């Protein structure tokens, strides 16, 4: 059976972007969140993004309207009951995600695949206590999801090969490139990327160089598209901190200790682009 009806839970940045990816590949999408306001903003954001593609002549106006007709938004979790794939994209909190998975299992049949768009949390831990841990898998998209092609497919200790194969086929069907990763904190990309950002924060806090020159060093010296501090602002300093804290706890290695300045900035509400101020200021 070809899966074409999916539900995405969490209408924040990632849930919104993932929804657009599936819509543009002719899937029917249920987008679910506890906030009606967030759902409205997400649907408006998808419509705006599609309008830009029409302007650039990458899609037609008719295609845009077709994609938008295939999305339903709701605050009711029961909407997932007829979906063949469910992707949770809520905040990076183990208890929140685990509790949500249990609620989903009470609604859907035993063979429905449940994927988590987590950037650092163990899929094995998420699946602990689940009725059918074989069907639970990590599906890590990157921001912005409509633009970045990589998707990490994370196999938990109890995830079945059948589930992995199904998800690989879906990732390819939506035009993305899957890589299969064993369950480990941060998987591949964030295990490499977030500690680099943390080190850049330490370098800045030690007054070794200005934030501008730290970013310039990595753009020009390592050919990165963005410098690490600017990238931290883009990702969200709270997310960077959460991932580093997960590494520090789960890998039990002092090299993953979060930079004190990173903690201070998050506590003061300087979260990056989303709060209009991080290492840089934004309008």
Catalytic residues: 119, 140, 152, 190
Report the alpha-carbon angle 156-126-102, nearest 5. Answer: 125
CA dist., res. 210 & res. 164, Å (int):
45
CA dist., res. 144 & res. 19, Å (int):
11
Report the alpha-carbon angle 234-237-252, nearest 5. Answer: 125
For residue 98, what are the CA distances in angstroms to 7, 12, 186, 201? 17, 18, 18, 31
Q: What's the token pair of residue 201?
A: 């924060």
CA dist., res. 239 & res. 266, Å (int):
9
Other CB atoms within a 10 A radius of the CB of residue 161 amount to 9
DSSP structural state of residue 77: G
Place of tokens 């050919």: 223
Which are the contacts of 204, defined by CB distance < 8 A and separation ≥ 6? 210, 211, 214, 229, 261, 279
DSSP calls for 81-128: GG-SEEEE---S-HHHHHHHHHHHHTTS-TT-EEEE--SSS-HHHHHT
DSSP structural state of residue 34: S
Bridge partners of residue 281, in order along the sequence: 277
């Amino acid at each position: 059976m070809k899966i074409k009806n999916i539900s995405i839970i969490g209408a924040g940045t990632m849930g919104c972007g993932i929804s657009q990816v599936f819509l543009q590949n002719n899937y029917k999408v249920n987008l679910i969140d506890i906030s009606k306001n967030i759902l409205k903003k997400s649907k408006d954001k998808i419509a705006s993004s599609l309008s830009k593609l029409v302007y650039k002549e990458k899609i037609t106006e008719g295609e845009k309207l077709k994609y938008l007709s295939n999305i339903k938004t709701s605050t009711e979790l029961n909407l997932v009951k007829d979906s063949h794939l469910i992707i949770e994209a809520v905040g990076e909190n183990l208890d929140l995600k685990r509790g949500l998975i249990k609620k989903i299992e009470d609604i859907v049949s035993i063979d429905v695949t449940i994927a988590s768009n987590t950037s650092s949390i163990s899929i094995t831990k998420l699946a602990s206590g689940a009725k059918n841990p074989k069907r639970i898998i990590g599906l890590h998209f990157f921001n912005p999801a409509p633009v970045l092609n990589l998707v990490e497919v994370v196999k938990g200790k109890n995830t079945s090969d059948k589930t992995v194969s199904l998800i690989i086929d879906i990732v390819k069907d939506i035009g993305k490139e899957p890589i299969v990763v064993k369950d480990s904190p941060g998987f591949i990309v964030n295990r490499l990327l977030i500690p680099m950002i943390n080190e850049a924060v330490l370098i800045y806090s030690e007054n070794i160089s200005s934030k501008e020159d730290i970013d310039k060093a990595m753009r020009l010296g390592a050919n990165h598209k963005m410098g690490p501090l600017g990238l931290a602002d883009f990702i969200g300093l709270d997310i960077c901190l959460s991932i580093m804290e997960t590494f520090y706890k789960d890998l039990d290695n002092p090299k993953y200790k979060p930079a004190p300045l990173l903690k201070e900035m998050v506590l003061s509400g300087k979260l990056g682009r989303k709060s209009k101020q991080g290492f840089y200021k934004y309008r």
